Amino acid sequence: MRVPLRLLPASGHFPLLLLSFQLIPTSAFSLHALPSRLSRERGTHLRTATETAPVVPVMGSTEEGKLAYSYIEEHDVAKQSILDKYEGFVFDMDGVLWEGATLIPKARETVEYLMHAGKKVFFVTNNSSATRKQYIAKLKKLGYPELKPEVIYCAAAAVAKYMEHIGYKGKVFVLGGEGLREELSAVDGLEILPKDYWEASKQFPTPLEMANEEIDFDAKCVVMGFDQYFNYWKLGYATRLLTGNPDCLFIISNKDKLFPCGGGKRLPGTGAFIEALEMATSRRGHIVAKPGPFIIDDICESFSIPRESLCMIGDNLHTDIDFAISNGIGACMVETGVSQRDQIGRDRNPVPHFVLPTVAVLLAPSFESRL
């Protein structure tokens, strides 16, 4: 059964809230209020996550509207309103399509269904170790149709696009994996330092040795992503560049604390290394990947999609949901990755518009995969 709620105008006024109740039974939603602030009975007030965020018509908003999200399970008819509302879907990968080495059931079919339904889909990840080419190959191996590089916003590619965007030319000191270095190498006019990254990775200097290291101050840009070969030589070199020249650009892919690897194990993410460099330099890097604004700006411009017609689907409150909310697009959290429902709104965590147990909630039961 599909209720034609999309005909309702989006509005924050209270009368509309009552109207929406006449059309949709409250049982179609699970409204999850935050315990500390929302004491009214569950289901009697439906609220949007923020006033500025796109409003799905079935929900009203109030002054207290920042405190709740809609929890949508498999058989909720409300899921149709998400599909009607958005023209484009931006998928996080780790924690949404797979977690560690485990595939999320029916994630592939869901993406295929959305594409089949004429939606534009994008794939965004803060993993800066791999290139677009590698992600296309990985997705194909997992059964996805062959995707074009333009729809893959892996952190390495996003940083490379950003460097093109700002028009920086010349030497760049890069701390990061092969993916980041490869994508940056393809940018016209960039010269990547250090030239022999593997050699640099095997240096173990003392601080006093680093003080005597000759630094190439022609490099007026430091770029940092995840680096499994992180060491004191690189940290010291970047620190001397960034503190020796206040105009040196400081660009980082992302600041994720943790690397999603399944089984509840916590492993340090890019953010841990970047924190070390930020602490040593007393500077803050400019974040290009989630939750920075660049990727959304680029998608909206390059694909002519209005901001309010885009929805992020992610598992991490700090990267995905913050990314969506702060960039004015729809924010949908799935429960198959890093963040848990009880963390929403706590300790200044952002509040998504929707929470789904898994991305597969969006799949139409009748859809038959063509793959």
Q: How far is the CB of 149 from a second copy (least distance, A)?
A: 23
By CB under 8 A, residue 369 contacts a second copy: no
Give the one residue of 167, 204, 247, 304 binding a second copy; rule: CB under 8 A: 204
**CA 214/CA 48 separation, integer angstroms:** 55
Give the one residue of 100, 143, 328, 357 binding a second copy; rule: CB under 8 A: 100
By CB under 8 A, residue 280 contacts a second copy: yes
Nearer to a second copy, 257 or 341 (CB): 257
Task: Return the number of other C-beta atoms located less than 10 Å from residue 282's C-beta.
Answer: 9
User: Can 209 be counted among the known catalytic residues?
Assistant: no
**CA 207/CA 54 separation, integer angstroms:** 51
Q: Choosing from 87, 150, 164, 275, which is the catalytic residue?
A: 87
Q: Roughly how many angstroms between the first and final C-alpha of the chain, as a whole number? A: 27
By CB under 8 A, residue 103 contacts a second copy: no
CB 292 within 8 A of CB 324: no
Q: Residue 2: exposed, middle, or buried by beta-carbon count in 10 A (0-12, 13-18, 19+)?
A: exposed
By CB under 8 A, residue 43 contacts a second copy: no
CB 237 within 8 A of CB 215: yes
Q: How far is the CB of 218 from a second copy (least distance, A)?
A: 18
What mask of x and - would describe binding to a second copy in positions 54 to 93, judged by CB under 8 A?
----------------------------------------
Q: How far is the CB of 15 from a second copy (least distance, A)?
A: 44
Q: Which long-range contacts (CB under 8 A, 24 or more apart) does 233-237 make?
A: 233/200, 233/203, 233/204, 233/205, 234/175, 234/194, 234/200, 234/201, 235/175, 235/276, 235/277, 235/280, 236/205, 236/207, 236/210, 237/173, 237/194, 237/210, 237/213
By CB under 8 A, residue 135 contacts a second copy: no
Nearer to a second copy, 5 or 139 (CB): 139
By CB under 8 A, residue 247 contacts a second copy: no
Structure-block tokens of residue 80: 């149709």
Nearer to a second copy, 60 or 271 (CB): 271
Where on the chain is the footprint of a second copy (CB under 8 A)?
A: 100-101, 129, 201, 204-208, 210-211, 228-232, 235-236, 239-240, 243-244, 257-259, 261-263, 265-269, 271-273, 275-277, 279-282
Which residues are known catalytic residues? 87
